[in-house]
Each structure stands twice: as structure tokens, then as C-alpha cells.
């Protein structure tokens, strides 16, 4: 085993933007008179914008023009909410792990389905700790297709088997496994149980322990 790089999902791994996505979708759903709960929002973890909207609509008919307008409206709400994001919003353990990876001479990349990922990492102040960014604009096929992580690995000039993907979404773990990556799943077994290593979060996740855990997986 020779791990040379880490690819991090953003939402739910490095920061918790799920609440802002929820508030954006909820505001749109209220305006459209569609019921939408926090539980339903959980199912949208890692799911791209358009698919999230189609899930929220629950089969209600809509023209392409309406879909575009509603996606733009939700995104405007989301952009309004993420203005609040600051370095204090990096999830516990994430910055320390990024720093350890850099100090060990390994590479780090972002692999996020979000088209707003760059803005979020700038606001979090972690952009300088990432060697490459692959986001919702980088590939056409989104998770669970492996394309986004393959794009990130290519930017790092590494092969999938040399990289670990850190994810909190089932779709993200499937994408990474499909691409031949090592995987660390954050969250409940029911959601990320297919990952090589499962942890509740990155809190107290030291690089040495992660590498040892992957070795014995
Ligand atoms: C993922 C989030 O990271 O990005 C999803 O988990 C979101 O909830 C997706 O729908 C797309 O994000 P954006 O910012 O491009 O709408
Ligand atoms: Mg995520």
C-alpha cells in the first residue's frame, strides 16, 4: 500500500453546509407549496443540484424553464446563507488533518459536487492547504459515477489506488469504490458502511491512525 494523496468531499466532511442547502431548498419548497422536511433533505446529501430539485418536486410536472428558474432561486438563497461561513466553520479535526497531510509530503484535493465549492473553501480559509480542486463544474457525470474523483486524482498526478477518498454520502463512497480508490466514510454504518474505514467524524482522526486503519481493512 502506498498512499500518496487524499481527496476530500466538502459538504459534511470539511464543513457542514447541509443546513444551508436545507434552508435554501426549504425556502423554495415553501414558496412552491411543496412539503419538505429535514429528513427528506438528508437524502439529498452529495446529490447534485438538478437531481435534488427533481427529488423535491416528487414527480410534479415542470418545464425546463421552471426547473432552471427554481435551481437559480435556490442557489441565490444558498449563496446568501453561505456569506456567514468563516474559518470557525471548518469541522473539528479537518484543518489539523490537512496540515498533517501537507507536513508528511502527501497531496490533498477537493472532490465536491458543489458548483459553489471554491467560494466555500475560500471563506473557510483552507484553499491554501489544497493542491487541487475538482468541483461541480469539473465533470459532467456526478457521483455515484467515479468521474469527479478521477478528475481530482489526475490533477494530483496520482492513480486511484494511491488516493484515499473521504466522504459522508453513500453516493460518494460508491463513486470512490467504482473508481478504485481507498475510502474513509464519515457517519453511520447505514450510510457509509461500504467504506474501507468508517469513523463518526474527522475529530481526533490522526493521519498515522487513518493509514494504519486502511492497511488492516
Ligand atoms: C453537494 C451537496 O456537495 O453539492 C448537495 O452535498 C448539493 O447537497 C450538491 O446539492 C450541489 O451543490 P451546489 O452548490 O452546486 O448546488
Ligand atoms: Mg458530502
Residues 94 and 109 grouped into a single domain: yes
Name the residue range of residue 182's domain: 5-16+89-215
106-136 pLDDT, tens digit each: 999 999 999 999 999 999 999 999 999 999 9
Q: Tell which residue, 11, 13, 7, 2, has the closest CA to residue 156.
A: 7
Q: Look at ligand 1, atom 16, and give the residue with the nearest C-alpha.
A: 49
Quick check: helix, strand or coil at residue 182? Answer: strand
For residue 5, whether the previous peptide bond is cis, meaning omega lies within 30 degrees of 0, is no
* Final residue of a structural domain among 30, 59, 82: 82
> What is the reported pLDDT for 1?
67
CATH of the domain at 182: 3.40.50.1000
| Cα angle, residue 186 at apex, residues 184 and 187 outer, rounded to 5° | 140
Give the number of domains in the chain. 2
| Ligand 1 pocket, residues with Cβ under 6 angstroms | 10-11, 21, 44-49, 52, 75, 112-116, 136
Look-up of cell digits 480542486: 133
pLDDT in tens, 39-88: 999 889 888 999 999 999 999 999 999 999 999 999 999 999 999 999 99
Same domain, 116 and 187: yes
Q: pLDDT for 22-41, tens place per residue?
A: 999 999 999 999 999 999 99
Q: Sheet holding 132-134: strands in order across?
A: 132-134, 107-111, 5-8, 163-167, 182-186, 197-199
> What tens digit of pLDDT does each residue of 196-209 get?
999 999 998 999 99
HSE, side-chain direction, 13 A CA sphere, residue 73: 15
92 touches 115 (CB < 8 A): no
For residue 45, the SS3 value is: coil
Ligand 1 binding pocket mutation candidate from 7, 10, 11 (most atoms within 8 A of CB): 11
pTM: 0.94
Looking at residue 28, which CATH number applies to its domain? 1.10.150.240
Is residue 160 a contact partner of residue 37, using CB atoms and an 8 Å limit? Answer: no
Give the separation between CA 182 and CA 146, rounded to whole angstroms. Answer: 12
Helix (H, G, I), strand (E, B) or coil at 183: strand
**What CA–CA distances, in Å, run from 67 to 37, 53, 78, 172, 194?**
20, 8, 16, 25, 33
**Model confidence pLDDT, tens digit, residues 144-189:** 999 999 999 999 999 999 999 999 999 999 999 999 999 999 999 9
One domain for residues 78 and 101? no
Amino acid at each position: 500500500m502506498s498512499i500518496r494523496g487524499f481527496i476530500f468531499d466538502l459538504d459534511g466532511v470539511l464543513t457542514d453546509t447541509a443546513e444551508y442547502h436545507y434552508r435554501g431548498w426549504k425556502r423554495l419548497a415553501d414558496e412552491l407549496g411543496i412539503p419538505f422536511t429535514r429528513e427528506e433533505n438528508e437524502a439529498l446529501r452529495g446529490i447534485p443540484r438538478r437531481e435534488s430539485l427533481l427529488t423535491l418536486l416528487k414527480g410534479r410536472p415542470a418545464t425546463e424553464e421552471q426547473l432552471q428558474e427554481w435551481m437559480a432561486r435556490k442557489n441565490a438563497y444558498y449563496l446568501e446563507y453561505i456569506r456567514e461561513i468563516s474559518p470557525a466553520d471548518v469541522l473539528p479535526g479537518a484543518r489539523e488533518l490537512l496540515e498533517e497531510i501537507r507536513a508528511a509530503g502527501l497531496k490533498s484535493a477537493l472532490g465536491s459536487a458543489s458548483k459553489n465549492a471554491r467560494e466555500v473553501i475560500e471563506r473557510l480559509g483552507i484553499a491554501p492547504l489544497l493542491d487541487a480542486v475538482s468541483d461541480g463544474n469539473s465533470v459532467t457525470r456526478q457521483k455515484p459515477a467515479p468521474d469527479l474523483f478521477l478528475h481530482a486524482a489526475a490533477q494530483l498526478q496520482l492513480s486511484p489506488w494511491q488516493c484515499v477518498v473521504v466522504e459522508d454520502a453513500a453516493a460518494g463512497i460508491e463513486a470512490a469504490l467504482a473508481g478504485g480508490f481507498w475510502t474513509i466514510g464519515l457517519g453511520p454504518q447505514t450510510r457509509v458502511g461500504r467504506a474501507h474505514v468508517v469513523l463518526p467524524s474527522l475529530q481526533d482522526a490522526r493521519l498515522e491512525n487513518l493509514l494504519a486503519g486502511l492497511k488492516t481493512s
